[in-house]
Amino acid sequence: MTATVFEAEGLSKEYPSGVALDQLCMSIEAGDVYGFVGENGAGKTTLMRIIGGLVHPTAGRMALFGEQSKERLASARRRIGFLIERPSLYPHMNAMENLGFYCRIFGIRDRGRGAEVLKLVGLDEAGPKKTGEYSLGMRQRLGIAVALLNRPEFLVLDEPVNGLDPAGIVEVRHILEHLSHEQGVTLLISSHILSELQLLAGKYGFIHQGRLIQEISAAELQQSAPNLEQYYMDLIGGSGR
């Protein structure tokens, strides 16, 4: 039986300005590459922030690796890597210095871990170059390296290829394919580049105005529509947009 990495039941988040999540029910199993699809403001980043403990839900229940209590959720989050919005990097530091800082923050004592993740994301030859001089693609890859420092079993990525050129998008895709196929990391990925997401994900969740309106496997998608973008547009059109 496959273990459930993330589960939400009736998860809601309400702000004075409106509802960000509305009774969301969703599950991600170990080994999934879950593509999270929705327009700006649909609730994708809110859910990821709730998973990371940065935002607290208004109602509903959430479990990570089967754990639900506040104390056990905090422990479970140590098994997760996050890249939510832009990576927080210190521009006056090089890659190893940035990773060393985060190793201290995360309590990682393995002195060789920084070099390992830099090699994994293809930045092992960046040397003394300050991250303030990095291209957007290099910064995104270093952000992924930070997310990988704690050897996560579950990786949560919010728009990891947003703003990248085609070569940078391919580089990030290859990194994620390696993590999924070779290391068995479970992935939750949001992206507006649906053609790219379709090359990675085996399962999709569609969120619209805070509600999860559809979940579908990659195999089911192939039988329903020529591509992910067309399926999404048809789905949103049918939901009253």
What pLDDT score was predicted for residue 161? 87
CA 101, CA 63: separation in Å to the nearest integer?
30
C-beta contacts of 118-121 below 8 A and 24+ residues apart: 118/145, 120/145, 120/148, 120/175, 120/178, 121/145, 121/148, 121/175
Q: How many Cβ atoms are within 10 Å of 107's Cβ, its own excluded? A: 8
Length of the chain: 241
Distance CA 221, CA 8 (A): 23
- Give pTM, 2 decimals: 0.93
Predicted confidence at residue 85, as pLDDT, reads 76
Q: Mean pLDDT, the chain, as a whole number?
A: 91
**201-224 residue pLDDT tens:** 999 999 999 999 999 999 999 888
Query: For the chain, what percent of residues have pLDDT higher than 90?
Result: 71
Q: Using one digit for the tens of pLDDT, what is the confidence trace for 46-96?
A: 999 999 999 999 999 999 999 999 889 999 999 999 998 777 899 999 999
Contact 101, 114 (CB under 8 A): no
What per-residue confidence (pLDDT) applies to 241? 42
Helix (H, G, I), strand (E, B) or coil at 233: helix
Which has the minimum average pLDDT: 52-56, 153-157, 165-169, 176-180? 165-169
**pLDDT tens per residue across span 113-148:** 999 999 989 898 888 899 999 988 888 899 999 999
Residue 192 DSSP SS3: coil
Q: In angstroms, rounded to a whole number, what is the distance separating the alpha carbons of residues 93 and 232?
A: 41
Please, which pLDDT band fits residue 239 given cuts at 50, 70 and 90?
A: low
Query: Which domains are assigned to the chain?
Result: 4-238 (3.40.50.300)
Q: How confident is the model at residue 1 (pLDDT cuts 50, 70, 90)?
A: low
